[in-house]
Structure 1
């Protein structure tokens, strides 16, 4: 096993400092009753972080701190040292059990470990309680054998064991959660943003302990606010501060929890610390779950709203777009053209339309198949769309017939546009894989808005007549409504396209 010097030294110093503080500043009055055995929490945190090398460090730290404490006793060092090794081994065993149950519980809950209120009873029982309950009786038996404690019957022995277990349990309960917060990087924001609140809580508890114990009730709303504002990490820091201050109050004889006997004072403190810890750890996780559920719900609502908007957009496209060519359909073009006509008349602007048709489209379908016929329609739509203005509206009128709306365009200009499109289609055959180029042409009818047009049908009718003339004149040409001869429009004539 390779020892990591810096982490091992940090663990050793932390363990010895925690043990010294617990004994020197955390005992009840003159009795040897440690309110919070911080060393148990430090040892378990070290075991989780460092693994096997932590047990050696814990053993060394335990021997050193206890040897320093007991060096004034009448026992010789050669009789004291083996007992300290055994008690240090028991402390290391407690840390090993804590590490074992910590990893086991973490694997069981996975990524949500220590994030759900329903997990807390199992965490308290398996990680905090079981290691302490399994090792404390062994430690008390050792102390009894060393003559450090006196127990005249089983009830006294059980009470000593219970007190020692509560002290160890408190150390693990208040310190171990901070390790998970540190691993998840949740402590830094609390220390940055919640430090004034934590200082205020400490001052309030201090005044309550040494001035008026009734003020202790005010710590509850402060803890409640910390749970809401800083969630579980803020609660863990607040609980540690309150626990340490309560231990100091018990040591210096603060009025908050003093009982008739040291044991009663110890139990009063433990009852307050454990009640506060269990209540606010549970409450903070419930608040955190609610906040997470709210965030998830808002994200889901946003996702569904976005999906609904996309669906509506798609439906709108389906309602206004030709499925094959992806240009506007006949209904959408008519709506846009009607609006453009109203605008043109209001502002006295020109407006023209072009109606175009693929020449001999049936031959394309017959010779090359309907699939290539569809590709020809797409090819024409793409070329026209690319060479029109943004304000122009190109649409599929039906079958192989298309229509173009040209706002603010005189008839002569529209005629030039139509001729440009005709030449474009003639010069750009349809190319499909290794097949020979498929050449096709179009015929176009052009007309402009007139003051005599009563309805949109009047405008469309003239464009259709011009297209008919283009077809009858040999196809692949542009005819505008001004050049349409009445000889082409005899009552007996019909449109053959």
Structure 2
């Protein structure tokens, strides 16, 4: 809770909590003013006391005692004068002790689980039993003894059991109604309700209308609440459930205090005991459903995240496989299969558009000597250096690929014979200028290039490759480190 309080000062929070003590005590004791014989159906200051200790730590003990002392008169109706002056501090101490026990159980569970409490449906059993019920039962006997020995009116023996039950259930209900509010504030970043703000207006209004109709019709009409509460739980999760429970608890208690509503029994205690049972059943059910819905949505978010992550990984793997299938691993240029595929498509396009197209075949001169003299590692570096130099000398539309070993192929779209010869000479000069440093020596290599241009009689890409390859070997026989243009086939009409 300390991280959540980083932006709030202790003075402001203390004032807010003391105000919450006063407001919730007045709200809890309101039905008792309408029917003086009625005890509070729910005692919300018990939940405020728990929130105070969780939020304020050690300072919360003093603040909780002061708050309970302030609201003690509205609840216990004992005059703080004469021989009874000690009773209100004692009862405030007992209420503070009850909140301390509940907060201790809360913190122990958080330390044991290494995460905040009330984020999973299974944690509600611990919250209902260990945090809400057990501290109230432990303080019950001391509070009863203090009330009876302090001069308070002693009820008949047959009503003591019901009074004790009302005391315990009132405190438990107060915690059940207030603790989720604390959880909402603590985990406020988890609730993405701002996206539904434009549709927020109709569920509360519909809930109010059905609630009013229910209280007017009495009896079995109360079941009309459950579909609305179910929809609120699914749509608004814990925030909607918490608001609905507060609204239902206050409204039904006020209507019952006026003698209306569906709970009509022989005695006043049974009258409100049935109201207690209804509020308990609705609160426990809706809270469990709300946390279950939130956990389900969290699982869905995690599943979507995992699916998206796996999809990205699969896409990257496919891209990597595609790259491996089309790229030469050593030099990083297109491999033979990819170069042939791309060049065949470019040749078909050149045929349809009647545009020139040229092919170059180039080979590194005396490359075996470099491998034998400097080793294959240096030979690989020389291959990469030559590829890098040649790619830098080509246009973006040209396609450079490794044909095999130290032999490479170049496709020159929209390039005629003379322009192809100029590009080939540019590549030869770029390769001759490339070098690799080895033991303070520059290792350099030259290339021989054969060039050819698409002719009308060429039926496949192999026709161009064969002529360019023949021109390449002619360059090697002529002394290497030169460019040779393949002559056009006989009868082509080209010079």
TM-score (norm 1): 0.90
Check if 1:160 corresponds to 2:163.
yes
Rounded Cα–Cα distance in structure 2 between residues aligned with 1:24 and 1:70:
13
Check if 1:408 corresponds to 2:411.
no
Per-residue CA deviation, residues 268-321 of structure 1 (Å, 9 max, x unaligned), is 111111111111111111111221111211221121122111111111111111
Check if 1:271 corresponds to 2:277.
yes
Rounded Cα–Cα distance in structure 1 between residues aligned with 2:16 and 2:333:
72
Rounded Cα–Cα distance in structure 2 between residues aligned with 1:273 and 1:281:
12
Per-residue CA deviation, residues 112-169 of structure 1 (Å, 9 max, x unaligned), is 631211111011112111211111222122112234243554x643332111100110
TM-score (norm 2): 0.90
**1:171 is matched with which residue?**
174
Match of residue 142, structure 1, among 146, 157, 177: 146
C-alpha change, 1:221 and 1:96, in structure 2 (3 Å) is same
Rounded Cα–Cα distance in structure 2 between residues aligned with 1:158 and 1:198:
38
The structural deviation recorded for 1:69 is: 7.3
C-alpha change, 1:165 and 1:419, in structure 2 (3 Å) is same
Match of residue 100, structure 2, among 96, 100, 104: 96
The structural deviation recorded for 1:29 is: 3.3
Listed as ranges, the matches of 1:264-413 within 5 Å are 264-413=270-419
> Please, which runs of 5 or more residues in structure 2 have no aligned partner?
1-8, 491-495
Asked whether the 8 Å contact 1:357–1:402 carries over to 2, the reply is yes
C-alpha change, 1:26 and 1:226, in structure 2 (3 Å) is farther
Rounded Cα–Cα distance in structure 2 between residues aligned with 1:14 and 1:112:
23
**1:464 is matched with which residue?**
469
Range with greater deviation from structure 2 (255-264 or 110-119)? 110-119
Listed as ranges, the matches of 1:5-44 within 5 Å are 5-25=11-31, 29-44=35-50
Asked whether the 8 Å contact 1:26–1:36 carries over to 2, the reply is no
The structural deviation recorded for 1:397 is: 0.4
Rounded Cα–Cα distance in structure 2 between residues aligned with 1:290 and 1:373:
60
Range with greater deviation from structure 2 (124-133 or 156-165)? 156-165
Asked whether the 8 Å contact 2:237–2:294 carries over to 1, the reply is yes
**1:117 is matched with which residue?**
121
The structural deviation recorded for 1:326 is: 0.9
Rounded Cα–Cα distance in structure 1 between residues aligned with 2:132 and 2:86:
28
SS at match of 2:445: coil
**1:489 is matched with which residue?**
none
Range with greater deviation from structure 2 (3-12 or 250-259)? 3-12
Per-residue CA deviation, residues 328-353 of structure 1 (Å, 9 max, x unaligned), is 11111111111111111111111100
C-alpha change, 1:64 and 1:441, in structure 2 (3 Å) is closer
Check if 1:60 corresponds to 2:66.
yes
Asked whether the 8 Å contact 2:94–2:143 carries over to 1, the reply is yes
SS at match of 2:409: strand
C-alpha change, 1:318 and 1:187, in structure 2 (3 Å) is closer
Listed as ranges, the matches of 1:196-235 within 5 Å are 196-235=202-241
Asked whether the 8 Å contact 2:451–2:468 carries over to 1, the reply is yes
> Please, which runs of 5 or more residues in structure 1 have no aligned partner?
486-497
**1:444 is matched with which residue?**
449
Rounded Cα–Cα distance in structure 2 between residues aligned with 1:227 and 1:312:
43
CA root-mean-square deviation? 2.4
Per-residue CA deviation, residues 11-49 of structure 1 (Å, 9 max, x unaligned), is 233213322332233578342321111111111111211
**1:493 is matched with which residue?**
none
SS at match of 1:323: coil
Match of residue 435, structure 1, among 431, 440, 448: 440
C-alpha change, 1:137 and 1:4, in structure 2 (3 Å) is same
